[in-house]
Amino acid sequence: MFKSVMKPDSLIALALMAFSVYLMWHATVLPITWDGARGPGGGAFPFWLSLIMFLASGGIFLRSVLSGVRPADLTPFFEPGMFGQVLAVVLALGLTIFLMPILGAYIAIPLFMFWYLRFFGRNGWTVTLSLTLATPVALFFFFEVALLILLPKGMAEPLFFPLYAMFF
């Protein structure tokens, strides 16, 4: 059943399982239970989402191990030309993370989405603009209004003062 060579999906699933355990461990620093009047504790969402990620990765690992290793599985992980595309997305995500404290999540994330949808994914203007403009609105209402979790705003924070006055 276990072969001497592991497939890439097995290795990635194991890495995600280990990362999930790490996140669950850190989430338990905050309460993960339900607090009657206030709702879920601060660690509840990270803990339960990490547990779901652990279970999903475990399923992928089991499927990969049980299917065995075939000669076709030993071909290179990336097809020619794919490594450049993966590197472009990784660099763009890194830039997005770098820009979040400066510009704020509500500007950095739409900038990434705009680049990814329009230039990388070659989607039309309707799809690109509608998703790019709807995402920060949905993020604001989900995180800040519903969950009361503040996302970084960077230098855009003064623009949110009227919204704070309306919702808080």
User: Do residues 67 and 87 share a domain?
Assistant: no
User: Do residues 26 and 95 share a domain?
Assistant: no
What is the reported pLDDT for 119? 93
What is the reported pLDDT for 166? 86
What is the reported pLDDT for 2? 47
User: How many separate domains does the chain show?
Assistant: 2
100, 108 contact by CB (below 8 A): yes
Residue 2 belongs to a domain: no
User: Do residues 36 and 52 share a domain?
Assistant: yes
| Residues lower than pLDDT 70 in the chain | 1-5, 69-78
What is the reported pLDDT for 3? 46
User: Do residues 122 and 100 share a domain?
Assistant: yes
- Single out the residue of 60, 67, 55 nearest to residue 24, CA to CA: 55
User: Do residues 103 and 70 share a domain?
Assistant: no
Residue 1 belongs to a domain: no
Domain boundary among 55, 74, 93: 74
Provide DSSP, 48-69.
Answer: HHHHHHHHHHHHHHHHHHHH--
Q: Give this prediction's pTM.
A: 0.63
Domain boundary among 74, 98, 113: 74
28, 41 contact by CB (below 8 A): no
Residue 101 belongs to a domain: yes
User: Do residues 162 and 108 share a domain?
Assistant: yes
User: Do residues 107 and 50 share a domain?
Assistant: no
User: Do residues 162 and 95 share a domain?
Assistant: yes
User: Do residues 55 and 89 share a domain?
Assistant: no
Q: Which helix (H) or strand (E) holds 34?
A: strand 34-35
User: Do residues 67 and 88 share a domain?
Assistant: no
Residue 3 belongs to a domain: no
What range does the domain containing 35 cover? 8-74
Residue 137 belongs to a domain: yes
User: Do residues 98 and 145 share a domain?
Assistant: yes
User: Do residues 91 and 19 share a domain?
Assistant: no
What is the reported pLDDT for 48? 93
What is the reported pLDDT for 1? 47
